[in-house]
């Protein structure tokens, strides 16, 4: 899979860290080197040294960001979702079909990925705490358009895709603690000559219906005066097909999704990820907003995964 890198300026780093409680950022007098310290009730995560201006892989924050939260010990309080799980012996997980490597189908109604595996671990922990011997997981494919409504109406109990945790969505749904920090990037054909936002002027830019990627592109200060036409795919695979078939000149989406679709294309060398980082987005698991007890149970399971030191291995497996 292609390596996704991007510059993390200090302002961007502080923006990401604002999402994470219980951290301290100490910078030296030269203003170049900083040490970030993370601590929670389970373990001291330690120190991560960053040098300003040097690209770092997204995994540097992928598992650290999940480790900074304290959750209530009383997570098995009254909860409509937990009651439904226990009475029915089943739970419905919302999954994506082409959000490689986070959440995708492997065929025959099977699903896998970084977020899917973590959600299985979360549900296994909840099963044990509910005193259940078995728990059937029903997989419900969702799209960028219907994922929020399906969580809201209870069709999906836990959504394990690639959803950005932002203030607008948080009005309608709940989010578990962030497990991944993503960069929004641009994919193009390798021979296109496109290397920056400015070169998208007059081009067709693909994105997936129901996502915020093109909005982020238009808001980027370097996109001022750049006029392009939007074309939409119904899912990420469809959006990539628009680029692959020449019906779009670029595909704007989360970097890991772009890399995953490129890696699984017929000719990966025909594509590349270029240009500026358009945005840094916290990606999180979705749950119902009106069920804080279930959210607490999910966060408690996440904290256990972190405390057991499993997050780095999970990310390395799927990166």
Give domain limits for the chain.
Answer: 5-67, 89-177+289-318, 181-281
3-52 tens-digit pLDDT: 333 333 445 445 544 444 433 344 444 333 333 333 332 222 232 322 22
pTM: 0.70
Q: What percent of the chain has pLDDT over 90?
A: 56
The CB-side HSE value for 268 (13 A sphere, CA atoms) comes to 10
Q: Which residues of the chain have pLDDT under 50?
A: 1-10, 12-13, 16-75
Per CATH, the number for 181-281 is 3.40.190.10
> What's the pLDDT at 49?
29
Per CATH, the number for 89-177+289-318 is 3.40.190.10
Does the fold of domain 181-281 match that of domain 89-177+289-318?
yes
Kindly state the DSSP code that residue 65 receives in the 8-state scheme.
G
From 103, 125, 64, 88, select the one nearest 296 (Cα to Cα). 125
Pairing of strands 271-283, 180-189: antiparallel
Q: What percent of the chain has pLDDT over 70?
A: 76
């Amino acid at each position: 899979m292609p390596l996704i890198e991007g510059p993390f300026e200090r302002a961007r780093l502080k923006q990401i860290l604002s999402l994470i409680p219980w951290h301290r950022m100490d910078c030296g007098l030269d203003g170049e080197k900083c040490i970030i310290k993370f601590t929670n009730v389970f373990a001291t995560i330690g120190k991560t040294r960053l040098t300003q201006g040097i690209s770092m892989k997204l995994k540097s924050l992928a598992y650290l960001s999940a480790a900074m939260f304290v959750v209530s010990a009383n997570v098995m309080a009254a909860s409509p979702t937990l009651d439904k799980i226990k009475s029915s012996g089943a739970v419905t997980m919302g999954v994506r079909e082409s959000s490689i490597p986070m959440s995708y189908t492997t065929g025959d109604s099977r699903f896998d990925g970084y977020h899917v595996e973590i959600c299985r671990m979360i549900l296994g922990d909840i099963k044990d705490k509910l005193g259940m011997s078995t728990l059937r997981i029903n997989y419900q494919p969702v799209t960028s358009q219907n994922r929020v409504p399906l969580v809201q109406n209870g069709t999906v109990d836990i959504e394990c895709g690639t959803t950005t945790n932002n203030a607008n969505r948080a009005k309608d749904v709940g989010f578990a603690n962030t497990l991944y920090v993503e960069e929004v990037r641009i994919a193009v054909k390798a021979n296109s000559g496109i290397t920056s936002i400015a070169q998208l002027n007059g081009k067709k830019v693909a994105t997936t219906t129901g996502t915020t990627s093109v909005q982020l592109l238009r808001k980027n200060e370097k996109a001022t005066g750049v006029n392009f036409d939007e074309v939409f795919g119904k899912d990420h695979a469809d959006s990539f097909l628009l680029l692959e078939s020449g019906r779009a000149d670029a595909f704007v989406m989360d970097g890991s999704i772009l890399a995953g679709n490129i890696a699984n294309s017929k000719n990966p060398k025909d594509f590349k990820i270029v240009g500026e980082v358009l945005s840094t987005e916290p990606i999180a698991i979705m749950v119902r907003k009106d069920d804080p007890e279930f959210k607490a149970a999910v966060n408690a399971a996440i904290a256990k995964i972190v405390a057991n030191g499993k997050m780095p291995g999970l990310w390395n497996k799927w990166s």
